[in-house]
């Protein structure tokens, strides 16, 4: 057994959707979350900038005695995972491989849609991973730059005309291609599940990245014999790089529960 915490990071607070999945799937584990709220959004940035930012995020988390890292951020997972893994001697779980595995497992005809940030779509990481596992699959991608700001402004509920109009415009080309599975490749998109499934209809299975990485972490910890004591209830600590005011309100949107934890601000440029 290993009581050391798991480090989780994201460009901001959207990664709390992954924390939610982790708490459900691995309730005994202690978590340390870092949200780079001073530099969000990551989704429009270059590969070089993303690697520099994510190296600092990892260095901050490694200032604690952690046993593994989960990259909740789709954009970091698609652009920087290989470098971060090569540079660090602890397991680092990104969202791409576990999500692709799941998408291929549930897809009936191998016609897979991907929605994500512009940087993630540009990276081609999902497509490469899906094709490596199943060369005959067909992948159709759409960058959805308006989803993150709309979700952060509370426009994610079923019946909201703004999000429904934007989502229909993004999804229609994928629906026209006859997708049977849709990968939600960004931290914020699980909140759009109702809106997206209404538009896609019952024949398209949605696969959420955060949830699949939690299952992947569970498998990794089991293989390392590094699970925390299952009779314990895990703790969570939260750090951000910008002001902490307003954290609770936005955090509870992504966690889908009220947050009563203390959040601390750190200077990410020191790492
Ligand atoms: N966390 C990012 C992702 O999952 C979305 C927000 C951003 O662009 O920073 O790709």
Q: What is the pLDDT along the chain (271 residues), one digit of tens a residue?
A: 999 999 999 999 999 999 999 999 999 999 999 999 999 999 999 999 999 999 999 999 999 999 999 999 999 999 999 999 999 999 999 999 999 999 999 999 999 999 999 999 999 999 999 999 999 999 999 999 999 999 989 999 999 999 999 999 999 999 999 999 999 999 999 999 999 999 999 999 999 988 889 999 999 999 999 999 999 999 999 999 999 987 788 888 888 877 777 899 999 999 9
**Ligand 1 touching residue 70 (CB < 6 A):** no
C-alpha 46 chain-centroid distance: 18
Asked whether the bond before 68 is cis by omega within 30 degrees of 0, the reply is no
Note the pTM of the prediction, 2 decimals.
0.95
pLDDT, residue 265, reads 96
Q: Tell me, yes or no, if 129 is annotated catalytic.
A: no
10: Cα within 13 Å, side-chain hemisphere? 22
114 forms beta bridges with: 141, 183
Q: Bridge partners of 250?
A: none
Ligand 1 neighbour 210 (Cβ under 6 A): no
Instruction: Find tokens 């601390």 and name the residue.
Output: 264
Whether residue 35 has its Cβ less than 6 Å from ligand 1? no
Ligand 1 centroid distance, CA of 76 (Å): 8
204 close to 180: Cβ distance less than 8 angstroms: yes
Name the residue with the closest Cα to ligand 1, atom 7.
41
Instruction: Indicate if 186 belongs to the active site.
Output: yes
Beta bridge mates, 182: 113, 206
Q: How far apart are the first and last CA of the chain?
A: 30
Task: State which of 8, 11, 189 you would mutate to test the pocket of ligand 1, scoring each by most atoms of that ligand within 8 A of its C-beta.
Answer: 11
CA 75 to centroid of ligand 1, rounded, Å: 6
Domains for the chain: give ranges and CATH numbers. Answer: 6-94+211-270 (3.40.50.1860), 96-209 (3.40.50.1860)
Confirm if 59 and 271 have CB atoms less than 8 A apart. Answer: yes
- Four-CA torsion 156, 159, 163, 164, nearest 10 degrees: 130
Nearest to 68 by CA among 211, 240, 224: 224
Q: Residue 99 and residue 55: Cα distance in Å, rounded?
A: 23
- Closest-CA residue, ligand 1 atom 6, reads 41
Atom of ligand 1 nearest to the CA of 76: 10
């Amino acid at each position: 057994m290993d009581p050391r915490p798991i480090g989780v990071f994201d460009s901001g607070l959207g990664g709390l959707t992954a924390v939610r999945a982790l708490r459900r799937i691995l309730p005994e584990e202690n978590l340390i979350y870092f949200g780079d709220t001073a530099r969000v959004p990551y989704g429009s940035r270059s590969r070089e900038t993303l690697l520099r930012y994510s190296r600092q995020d990892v260095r901050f988390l490694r200032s604690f005695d952690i046993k593994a890292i989960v990259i909740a951020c789709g954009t970091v997972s698609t652009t920087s995972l290989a470098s971060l893994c090569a540079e660090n001697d602890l397991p680092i779980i990104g969202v791409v491989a576990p999500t692709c595995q799941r998408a291929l497992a549930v897809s009936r005809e191998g016609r897979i849609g991907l929605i994500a940030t512009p940087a993630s779509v540009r990276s081609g990481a999902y497509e490469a991973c899906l094709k490596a596992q199943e060369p005959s699959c067909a992948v159709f991608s759409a960058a959805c730059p308006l989803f993150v700001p709309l979700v952060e402004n509370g426009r994610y509920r079923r019946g909201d005309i703004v999000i429904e109009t934007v989502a229909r415009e993004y999804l229609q080309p994928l629906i026209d291609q006859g997708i049977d599975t849709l990968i939600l490749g960004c931290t914020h998109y699980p909140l759009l599940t109702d809106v997206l499934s209404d538009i896609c209809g019952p024949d398209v299975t949605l696969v959420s990245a955060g949830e699949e990485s939690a299952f992947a972490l569970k498998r990794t910890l089991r293989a390392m014999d590094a699970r925390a004591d299952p009779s314990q209830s895990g703790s969570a600590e939260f750090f951000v790089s910008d002001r902490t005011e307003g954290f609770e309100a936005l955090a509870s949107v992504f966690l889908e529960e009220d947050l009563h934890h203390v959040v601390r601000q750190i200077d990410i440029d020191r790492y």
